[in-house]
């Protein structure tokens, strides 16, 4: 079906003025319709007419779609990635074993709908202590069945292995997700100084957990003075969520009585050295400009 075909179907029960836009999803690799599309109407009444008509139609089905955002509207997929499935490390190099795992996954995923393809590949580890592994890509004909498979199988245990099942992102989308993840992790990390030099890591951890609760810290590193290793200079504290880190910042900033060993702490989000240098230079530039004017 083309855009024109879909427009013609919609025009049977809605006037041209009621149809704002029509889009058929196209598979860029095959240059063919993915067998679904989107339509936007000028009013709820016009859309309702189409929905009512779909009840009597067999060859074309219409469903109301309410995306949370424009990004959510584009989030329709039929390719999924699968990791963590049962595999024998000793057989990974054998092509016949890849075919065996393909058949194994096909049985699991075909229960949700018709498959276009299942592809299993070896991923070489970049670390000497981590073995090579297999991952797979499963492509459905219908995006609804792909979404259903992700919903039902992600983190489900099959044959003693917990599956990872998610939308297979393109390289550009993957890079964006990695950036978002790293940025979120950055907001979990706090730089801390101003505490007594003889403080221990356990004492510092206990201080923060009084604010955020037990088991709220993912990791911590106490940096010692190079001239005197018995004295602590500053610390990096990584909380499990950005909200926990922000709670610590707010608590210390708004409560002057929040002291440790008689010392007032300085707490701020950790920034890489390169970013700090850029920010410092920008601050100097602003100061120079103000002094000049």
Q: What proportion of the chain, given as a percentage, has pLDDT over 90?
A: 14
CA distance to 148, 155, 157, per residue, from 161 (Å): 20, 9, 5
More confident residue, 7 or 1: 7
pLDDT at 272 over 70: no
Listed range (28-37, 42-51, 109-118) with the worst mean pLDDT: 28-37
The sign of the torsion formed by the CA atoms of 59, 60, 63, 66 equals: positive
8 Å CB contact between 166 and 150: yes
Closest-CA residue to 246 (of 216, 223, 289, 205)? 216
Average pLDDT over residues 256-274: 76
Query: Between 110 and 11, whose confidence is greater?
Result: 110
- Whether residue 45 contacts residue 17, with contact meaning beta carbons closer than 8 Å, is answered with no
d(Cα 163, Cα 186) in Å, to the nearest integer? 28
Q: Counting beta carbons within 10 angstroms of the beta carbon of residue 133, is it exposed (0 to 12), middle (13 to 18) or buried (19 or more)?
A: middle
Name the pLDDT band for 265 (thresholds 50, 70, 90). Answer: confident
Structural domains in the chain? 3-73 (3.30.70.330), 79-168 (3.30.70.330), 184-277 (3.30.70.330)
Q: What is the pLDDT of residues 184-199, one digit of tens each?
A: 556 788 889 888 888 8
pLDDT in tens, 99-142: 999 999 999 999 999 998 999 988 887 777 778 889 999 999 88
Question: What pTM value is reported for the model?
Answer: 0.42
């Amino acid at each position: 079906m083309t855009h024109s075909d879909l427009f013609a179907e919609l025009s049977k029960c809605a006037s041209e003025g009621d149809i704002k836009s029509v889009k058929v999803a196209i598979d860029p690799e095959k240059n063919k319709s993915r067998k679904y599309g989107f339509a936007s109407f000028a009013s709820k009444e016009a859309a309702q007419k189409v929905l009512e008509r779909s009840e009597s139609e067999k060859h074309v089905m219409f469903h109301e779609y309410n995306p949370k955002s424009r990004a959510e509207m584009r989030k329709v997929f039929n390719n999924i990635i699968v990791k963590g499935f049962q595999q024998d490390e000793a057989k990974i190099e054998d092509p016949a074993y890849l075919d065996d795992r393909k058949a194994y996954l096909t049985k699991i995923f075909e229960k949700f709908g018709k498959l276009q393809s299942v592809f299993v590949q070896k991923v070489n580890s970049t670390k000497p202590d981590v073995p090579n592994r297999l991952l797979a890509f499963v492509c459905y004909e219908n995006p609804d069945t792909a979404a259903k498979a992700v919903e039902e199988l992600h983190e489900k245990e099959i044959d003693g292995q917990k599956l990872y099942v998610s939308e297979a992102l393109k390289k550009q989308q993957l890079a964006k997700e990695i950036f978002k993840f790293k940025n979120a992790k950055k907001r979990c990390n706090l730089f801390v100084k101003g505490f007594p030099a003889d403080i221990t890591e356990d004492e510092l951890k206990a201080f923060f957990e009084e604010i955020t609760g037990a088991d709220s810290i993912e990791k911590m590193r106490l940096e010692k003075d190079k001239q005197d290793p018995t004295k602590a200079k500053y610390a990096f504290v990584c909380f499990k969520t950005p909200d926990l880190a922000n709670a610590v910042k707010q608590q210390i900033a708004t409560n002057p009585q929040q002291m440790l060993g008689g010392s007032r702490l300085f707490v701020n989000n950790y920034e890489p050295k390169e970013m700090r240098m850029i920010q410092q230079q920008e601050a100097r530039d602003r100061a120079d400009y103000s002094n000049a004017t």
